[in-house]
Amino acid sequence: MTPRPFVESSELSLTSVPAFWPMAMAAQLVEQGVDLYARNLRFIEEEIKIRDDLRPNLATENTVRLDLRTMVLRDYGTRGGIPTLVDAPHAGHTAVIADYHKGQSLVETLLENGIAHVALTDWKPATEDMKDLEIDNYLAELIVAIDDLGGRVSISWASARVAGFRQW
């Protein structure tokens, strides 16, 4: 009869022998690191979807007139005359609230009711490099947009908030 070992080889692991503990710890850290790396990649994929793939489209055809640090100024209709500036609220979403869908668009309504030239502020989401910006930075860019539109605009929506800061 062959003597049976006290411990089966399948029951042995690196943690059962103290000399192998550093190697076992290193193996475990590598395994955890790979898992963390995979989770980070999934997070980045979701972020790309949110920022690019899932970004809502505006309903009415437009062109980008200005691309500033805090906003994109979109142009609708035909240039000429005094444009109407629609300052969409900056509440963590795009300007889609003002140009959501055909039949549900402030921009479309303005264009269909005699306003030939509409401009829309499309505020950008805050990023790490924007953390120290103040309201004055946003107002300054709004004034740059107004100047680019010829210096005079009809004000729509929340654009009245700068009316006290500057006369056109």
**Tens-of-pLDDT digits for all 168 residues of the chain?**
566 655 555 555 656 677 777 777 777 778 887 788 788 888 888 777 766 665 678 889 999 999 999 999 999 999 888 999 998 887 666 778 888 888 888 999 999 999 999 999 999 888 888 889 999 999 999 999 999 999 999 887 544 444 444 444
70 shares a domain with 36: no
Same domain flag for 81 and 127: yes
119 and 81 belong to one structural domain: yes
Is residue 8 one of the residues assigned to a domain?
no
Distance CA 11, CA 13 (A): 7
Q: Are residues 23 and 105 in the same domain?
A: no
> Is 134 part of any domain?
yes
pTM: 0.64
Query: Which residue, among 90, 84, 78, has the nearest Cα to 139 in the 3D structure?
Result: 90
Q: Please indicate, yes or no, whether residues 42 and 121 belong to a single structural domain of this protein.
A: no
| 77-110 as b/e: b if 16+ CB within 10 A | beeeeebbbbbbebeeebbbebbbeeeebbbbeb
- Same-domain status, 48 and 78: no
Based on the fold, state whether residues 102 and 127 are members of the same structural domain. Answer: yes
Domain range spanning residue 44? 14-53
How many domains, in total, are found in the chain? 2
Q: Is residue 9 one of the residues assigned to a domain?
A: no
Alpha-carbon span 122 to 145, nearest angstrom: 11
